[in-house]
Structure 1
Amino acid sequence: MNAETFDWRRFLTRWSEEWADAQGDFGELSPDDAEDRQRRWLGVAPATGADIAAMEARLGYEMPPSYREFLRVSDGWRHAGGFVWTLAGTREARWHEDTSGLGEDFDELWGDEDGPEEVRAQVGLWSRGLQLDVESDATYVLLDPEDVGPDGEWAVRVWAHWRASDPERYPSFAAFMVAMHQEFHQLESGRDGQDGAPAFVNETTRAQDAAVDTARTAALRGRHEEAARLLEEAQKYGRPHASELLHQIGQLGGRHANGRQLPHPDNPRFLTELLPLHATAHPGGGRPMDGRHFADPELFPDTAQAAADILREVSEGTYRYRPGGGFGEAVDEARELARWGDTDGAWRILRAAVPVWKPLGPDHIAPVGLLADPVLAPLLTTRRRLELLATPRGGERGPAPAPACDKDPGGLSWLARPGGLRPGQSSPGDYRMVLVEGVAPEELPALLGSAPGTALSPPLRRWDVSRHHRPGRRSSSSYDDKALLSVGRAGAGWSFGIDDSPNGFSTDRLVSPARAASARGGRAIVVWGQSGRDTPLFHVSAARGGTPLYAFTVRDGMIEDSSGDLPAELAPGPLGFDSPGTAAHTAAAARALDAIADRYGVALPRLALTKGRLHSFESMSWIRPPGPGEPYVIMGIG
């Protein structure tokens, strides 16, 4: 803020008049407030040049530019925000000299050599600061003569006993006063019309409300960054809808204020957007909040039952976003694809439908309820959320954004790459999978289930699969090896089941599920990869119509077995499996997976498998029972 162009007279006059208009009955005001209200001025007479010179001589410093300009208009101020009742002029300003006794504790906290430079720069503030608060609600206002900007402005630091944080920093006295004017507006906006107070409407509120309207239109036209800038300013003045709109931009990855917008049943968005988000842990949203009181019929008789149903569905992971209209139809279609792993196809459907989305009211600018849908939320990557924000919608027009690149790499070889099924890890993980031709994913339990009538689970996150299928299980056995398979579509006419936490591979007792999986006449391919154990292993077996076609197993450069008529592109030697070592094995496994993907036209959805939710079931054992004299182990947790 440039003190040379900042119009102190206009700014302080507007503030004073707004304050005066916001006051209630004269009888409820103190004598000083009543006088200030009558004269419509919170300041005092201007300081003269001699007053300022005497002050600077007394303090031994030339005052920073914006404070000097303020003094030339008013030699002090009353009601600087809600907690500083009197602000110092030329006669009251004084060096604090740590009269509060806070310096020792703060300097020890700030002086850590490993701390950020901007924190360490505060050391000594309580001793050197120029105190401007004269009367306040335990609030200190200090000008810092050692925190000086290139424009000669001293930073202002504000701290209160009841704020559990470091002092708030403002780059200049002018910036501090603007913030205090905004604080005054926030407090008055919260009291607007309460207890007989006059309506809080003035030049500033009208300008900021117009900015909110402009921001809403800009947001619906896809100009979310422009909207966020306007809303951030309006939010500082406490204007209606600013926080709600800004929160939605923030939920989808744009600029946003801190905190989460609390729902209220009176809002049309409550059941479809606010409450589900309130109760959901989602990207950028942090921990879910407790919303049980919204299900209390004594508090909210009209919405309590619907709220209880939503909270239960969110808790169980079965909540479905239902926005209605043409966009709602697209959401249903997208969910059907996403629950079988086709997150790219699901996003393309949503992307095409965003322009027909309609808001539920003036405080609604985006379908953020998508983030509460456990099946659809994972497909909204950071880039896709920003693309959604940038897409014109709600009846507004504007240029369409460039499409965000689809997330999935395609094919199969990503399984063998570092972090394949465990993003962020530096090495490949273990996995086993079955690819089945001519069978829908929901039909896999009938072919491979651990028992007759095995059913698919609801869509689950991968870390919830074991808990769902084996709740309370505290033991494991090497007698059998039933896989927990997450399922989905692997391409045109193919389905997959994959286990990302398999037990160790048993060469002697393996019973490939390829035969059972192919019983309906199509082909089935089984792949087992181990890279995170002592020796890397790769196994492939294939069958058609219940008849084995080929198989091979390689372990750290050695072919353990090979049978059937291996396709030339899957010969272990040319793939590089005859070279020992983890790096060579990983490269060979990637080439083998590429060959399988190319030969059969199959792929696995990485986003769905690593971050999404898929149906799952417990399969038949992948090993035979131990024969006479063969040992097996049962391990339990006491």
Structure 2
Amino acid sequence: MTDTTAFDWRPFLLRWSGEWADSLPDGEARGEDDEAARRARWLGFPPASEERIAAMEERLGRRMPPSYREFLKVSDGWRHAGGFVWLLAGTEDARWHNDESGLAEMFEEYLDEDAGPEERLEVDIWRRGLQLDVESDITHVLLDPQDVDEDGEWAVYTWASWRAAPPERHANFLDFMREMYREFHSLRSDRSDGEPVFVNDTTRKLDTQVEEARPEALRGGWERAEKALDEAKEYGRPRAAGLGDQIRRLLGQTYMVYFEDLVTDPRYAPDLLPPLVAEHAAHSYRDDSTLTFHLRGADDDLVSLAYATLDQVRSGTYRYAAAGPFGEAVERARELARWGDTDGAWRTLKNAVPLWEPLGPDHLAPLGWVADPLLGPLLTPERGRELLSTPRGGQAGEAPGPASGLDPGDLAWLAEPDPGDNRTSYRFVLVEGVEPEELPGRLADGDGTVLNQPVPFWEARRGSLHDQREFSSYDDRALMAVGRAGTGWSFAFDGDPAPFHRQRFVSPAAAASAGTRAVVVWSGLRTWHGEPFFHLSVARDGAEQYAFTYADGEIQKSGEIPRALDPSLFFGDLEDGAEAERSLLEAVTVEFGAHLPRHAIVNGRLHTFATRSWTRPPRNGETYAVIRLHRGAPRPASGERTGDDGPGSR
């Protein structure tokens, strides 16, 4: 906590005044008071005596907070506090606001019915606050006598209608004045032609900080670099925001990250533009009017590149590329991520970071990969810190320890509740010794089934339902994501299967196992639909070896089941279905040495395809229903299998 009583106000206010005076254009017409302040190089007033301060406190009925009191002893008021408060109150002008602005009533209208005491206390600031703004651009500055810390300091609240934001809180008057000084700097740093260059001891010190932060960040000292850049950014120093945004983006912070000053530079645009465009695509809802707002100053070629990149990001076809050995590692990482090995992909990418070559002196880290549909899901805040801590760009430093992997390396994670507890049933097929792209030939009808492009599973599901025109109660064609399931295994996974029908279920294990071995698991021990169930079947060379199904409290078995997978070990009275599920999945993991990649399945993008039906066709006398969508409207039909006729509908 800052010791506000020990702060020396005079040198701070003198520096502020001198920098303000030097920033004014020569010959510019200004008011008499401002001209006098410029000549005197002093924005303040004569100091207030202890008697004047005491008289003020007697008039207001309260002792003033320490930092405001100490300020008044140096200057009884202040001109140009920031860019929008032209005169700040001294002993004569400070007064209770008493909702003179009418803002208390306005803010009360925005309160919810269940608003708590703290929210209502914030609204009442307009009734109890001490008003310090005397002349301003509709900007209110209030000291709050009820928001007091242990040192007796009152919080300061500021609000302006044109900022369209809630009141901003400052811990005390000193913090408020420091923020106004930074605001003055930030506004002066963005000068138009013909105005004096804004250079002084403060700007030179901050610009040196920015220069020193660049190699520090490349050495892996991103925390020190970020602190230095953030301070320079608050003062509006050039490039500080663009450099700091590169660090923030890798930490997973996307709000208000625009890479300003750098994203419109043709040198850096190829790497900084894609993450900016990807964030826009994620939140724009097809309204692209704001995209160019963050590209002010860009030429036509760069704007065209931005829109072309936007089309690629939305279609999932954007592909990050980099030069040299790092670029080669990017390609290897993408191939690993494509088949679900996101931990391996991350290690490949991160281990190559020391070989990465910056596009220019203000390029702190590779960033375009976060917009790549396959590589972007690799990023977590922990991994971002690991990358930022890795020396790169020709700088030497100590390499960080590896971040922990995101995949547990087993199947048991499927028994854990997912966010929202939506994964209550799932099914998967494991096939040994084949590549993932071979699975459609083993699990789908016909030789023409190919893998869809990698997309999140929910998007693949939505796309398949959008194109589907016929729905049958006897046909259960699963949309499955595919990838590698550890050494020597591939998987097909369905996280949202249809209801399980034990009497009509046909395991795909036998068909998938031609010339090899296949495992099928279908779990619904936590399902919301009907009784809990669990199925396991194992096949080799096109024939089922063994299987069991637990359903309706009974176990059906076939073949010689290994002791470790004997269902009687797991299903007793089934007091805890989740524990039985976890134990079974652990046993399957040990028995076959395969696992499913949690991060890729839950957060990544994988290839998908539709399998043949997991249920047999209806037999004689069995009824079924078919819904066909005709010209946008559903048309129900029903059928019954009779004699030798095949499945039909009418």
Give TM-score scaled by structure 1 length: 0.90
In the alignment, what sits opposite 1:550? 546
CA contact (8 A) 1:246 1:256 kept: no
Q: Give the residue type in structure 2 aligned to 1:273.
A: L
CA distance in 2, matches of 1:482, 1:589: 25
- Map 1:52-67 to 2 at 5 A: 52-67=53-68
In the alignment, what sits opposite 1:622? 614
CA contact (8 A) 1:529 1:537 kept: yes
> 1:103 aligns to what SS in structure 2?
helix
Give 1:439 deviation, angstroms: 1.2
> 2:93 aligns to what SS in structure 1?
coil
CA contact (8 A) 1:186 1:237 kept: yes
In the alignment, what sits opposite 1:68? 69
Give 1:610 deviation, angstroms: 0.9
Range 170-179 or range 510-519, more displaced: 510-519
In the alignment, what sits opposite 1:84? 85
In the alignment, what sits opposite 1:395? 394
Distance 1:276 1:35, change over 3 A: same
In the alignment, what sits opposite 1:365? 364
User: RMSD over aligned Cα, in angstroms?
Assistant: 2.8
For residues 551-596 of structure 1, the C-alpha deviation after alignment (integer angstroms, 9 at most, x for no partner) is: 2222143123x222322322222x223x24362x443333333333
Distance 1:411 1:64, change over 3 A: closer
For residues 146-166 of structure 1, the C-alpha deviation after alignment (integer angstroms, 9 at most, x for no partner) is: 333222322222222323333
Aligned counterpart in structure 2 of residue 449 of structure 1, from 431, 444, 448:
444
- Map 1:422-433 to 2 at 5 A: 423-426=418-421, 429-433=424-428
For residues 149-194 of structure 1, the C-alpha deviation after alignment (integer angstroms, 9 at most, x for no partner) is: 2223222222223233332222222211111111111111122xx1
CA distance in 2, matches of 1:572, 1:187: 72
Give 1:427 deviation, angstroms: 7.8
CA contact (8 A) 1:245 1:364 kept: yes
CA distance in 1, matches of 2:82, 2:263: 29
Q: Give the residue type in structure 2 aligned to 1:530.
A: G
Give 1:127 deviation, angstroms: 3.2
In the alignment, what sits opposite 2:536? 540
Query: What number of residue pairs does the alignment pair up?
Result: 623
CA distance in 1, matches of 2:233, 2:334: 35
In the alignment, what sits opposite 1:494? 489
Give 1:220 deviation, angstroms: 2.3
In the alignment, what sits opposite 1:338? 337
In the alignment, what sits opposite 1:189? 189
Distance 1:597 1:59, change over 3 A: closer
> 2:605 aligns to what SS in structure 1?
coil
In the alignment, what sits opposite 2:587? 595
- Map 1:102-121 to 2 at 5 A: 102-106=103-107, 114-115=115-116, 117=118, 119-121=119-121
Aligned counterpart in structure 1 of residue 455 of structure 2, from 442, 455, 460:
460
Distance 1:134 1:338, change over 3 A: same
Distance 1:603 1:511, change over 3 A: same
Q: Give the residue type in structure 2 aligned to 1:572.
A: P
CA distance in 1, matches of 2:486, 2:114: 57
Give 1:235 deviation, angstroms: 1.6
CA distance in 2, matches of 1:582, 1:472: 42
Gapped runs of 5+ residues in structure 1? none
For residues 454-480 of structure 1, the C-alpha deviation after alignment (integer angstroms, 9 at most, x for no partner) is: 111111101012233343435521232
CA contact (8 A) 1:318 1:374 kept: yes
- Map 1:27-66 to 2 at 5 A: 27-66=28-67
CA distance in 1, matches of 2:82, 2:170: 14
CA contact (8 A) 1:55 1:91 kept: yes
CA contact (8 A) 1:418 1:429 kept: no
> 2:352 aligns to what SS in structure 1?
helix
Give 1:244 deviation, angstroms: 1.8
In the alignment, what sits opposite 2:647? none
Aligned counterpart in structure 2 of residue 206 of structure 1, from 183, 204, 208:
204
Give 1:342 deviation, angstroms: 0.8
Give 1:196 deviation, angstroms: 0.5
- Map 1:240-319 to 2 at 5 A: 240-253=238-251, 258=256, 260-261=258-259, 264-280=263-279, 300-319=299-318
Q: Give the residue type in structure 1 aligned to 2:210.
A: V
Give 1:88 deviation, angstroms: 1.7
Gapped runs of 5+ residues in structure 2? 635-650
Distance 1:570 1:130, change over 3 A: closer
In the alignment, what sits opposite 1:611? 603
Distance 1:286 1:365, change over 3 A: farther
> 2:163 aligns to what SS in structure 1?
coil
Give 1:257 deviation, angstroms: 7.6
CA contact (8 A) 2:358 2:364 kept: yes
Distance 1:530 1:107, change over 3 A: closer
CA distance in 1, matches of 2:372, 2:309: 11
Range 254-263 or range 600-609, more displaced: 254-263
Aligned counterpart in structure 2 of residue 581 of structure 1, from 574, 584, 593:
574
Question: Percent identity of the aligned residues?
Answer: 52
CA distance in 2, matches of 1:558, 1:111: 53
Distance 1:214 1:54, change over 3 A: same
Q: Give the residue type in structure 2 aligned to 1:201.
A: V
Distance 1:509 1:85, change over 3 A: same
CA contact (8 A) 1:276 1:311 kept: no
Give 1:334 deviation, angstroms: 0.8
Q: Give the residue type in structure 2 aligned to 1:444.
A: L
Distance 1:195 1:32, change over 3 A: farther
Give 1:315 deviation, angstroms: 0.3
CA contact (8 A) 1:529 1:538 kept: yes
In the alignment, what sits opposite 1:633? 625
> 1:360 aligns to what SS in structure 2?
coil
Give 1:49 deviation, angstroms: 3.5
CA contact (8 A) 1:433 1:496 kept: yes
Give TM-score scaled by structure 2 length: 0.88
CA distance in 1, matches of 2:350, 2:32: 62
CA distance in 1, matches of 2:55, 2:570: 87
In the alignment, what sits opposite 1:172? 172
> 2:402 aligns to what SS in structure 1?
coil
CA distance in 1, matches of 2:575, 2:367: 45
CA distance in 2, matches of 1:243, 1:86: 30
CA contact (8 A) 2:429 2:492 kept: yes
CA contact (8 A) 1:246 1:257 kept: no
In the alignment, what sits opposite 2:517? 523
CA distance in 1, matches of 2:579, 2:599: 22
Range 403-412 or range 551-560, more displaced: 551-560
> 2:437 aligns to what SS in structure 1?
helix
CA distance in 2, matches of 1:476, 1:111: 45
CA contact (8 A) 2:273 2:306 kept: no
Q: Give the residue type in structure 1 aligned to 2:271.
A: T
Distance 1:148 1:554, change over 3 A: closer
Give 1:413 deviation, angstroms: 2.5
Q: Give the residue type in structure 2 aligned to 1:538.
A: F
Give 1:517 deviation, angstroms: 1.3
CA distance in 1, matches of 2:479, 2:422: 22
CA distance in 2, matches of 1:539, 1:324: 49
CA contact (8 A) 2:277 2:309 kept: no
Distance 1:461 1:245, change over 3 A: same
In the alignment, what sits opposite 1:155? 155
CA distance in 1, matches of 2:298, 2:249: 28
CA distance in 1, matches of 2:112, 2:627: 53
Q: Give the residue type in structure 2 aligned to 1:454.
A: T
Distance 1:299 1:105, change over 3 A: closer
For residues 191-246 of structure 1, the C-alpha deviation after alignment (integer angstroms, 9 at most, x for no partner) is: 2xx13011111111111122223333332232333223222222211112222222
CA distance in 2, matches of 1:258, 1:474: 43
Distance 1:546 1:170, change over 3 A: same
Q: Does 1:219 align with 2:217?
A: yes
CA distance in 2, matches of 1:365, 1:32: 47
CA contact (8 A) 1:277 1:371 kept: no
In the alignment, what sits opposite 1:137? 137
